[in-house]
Amino acid sequence: MNQMTGIEQLRAYYTATLPYYDAALEDRGDLPFWRSIARRWNPRHILELGCGTGRVTSILCAEAATTAVDLLIEMLRCAMRRAPTAHFVVADLREFALASAFDLIVLADDPMAHLTLPQDRMKVMGQIADQLAPDGRVVLEGLYRAPGNQPHVTRRDVVSGGQKQFSVAESWEPAGETPLWNVIYRYERGPEVTKVATVLRSWTAEEIRCLPDAGLHVEALWGDFDERPFSRQSPRIVIVARRTSH
* 220 CB neighbour count, 10 Å cutoff: 13
**Contact (CB, 8 A) for 183 and 199:** yes
Q: For residues 76 and 192, state if they share a domain.
A: no
* pLDDT digits 0-9 by tens, 197-245: 999 999 999 999 999 999 999 999 999 999 999 999 999 999 999 999 7
Q: For residues 62 and 169, state if they share a domain.
A: no
Q: Structurally, how many domains does the chain consist of?
A: 2
User: 25-29, 64-68, 144-148: lowest mean pLDDT where?
Assistant: 144-148
Q: For residues 211 and 118, state if they share a domain.
A: yes
Collapse the DSSP code of 160 into the 3-class scheme (helix H, G, I; strand E, B; otherwise coil) and give the result.
strand
User: 3-12, 32-41, 68-77: lowest mean pLDDT where?
Assistant: 3-12
Q: For residues 177 and 158, state if they share a domain.
A: yes
Q: Check whether 183 has a pLDDT greater than 60.
A: yes
Q: For residues 179 and 74, state if they share a domain.
A: no
The CATH number assigned to the domain holding 117 equals 3.40.50.150
Q: For residues 15 and 31, state if they share a domain.
A: yes
Comparing CA positions, the residue from 158, 157, 186 lying closest to residue 170 is: 186
Query: pLDDT at position 246, please?
Result: 52
Comparing CA positions, the residue from 232, 209, 228, 229 lying closest to residue 144 is: 232
In this structure, which amino acid lies at residue 182?
N
Q: For residues 29 and 134, state if they share a domain.
A: yes
Q: For residues 169 and 53, state if they share a domain.
A: no
**Contact (CB, 8 A) for 47 and 65:** no
**Domain assignment of residue 104, given as a range:** 2-144+203-243
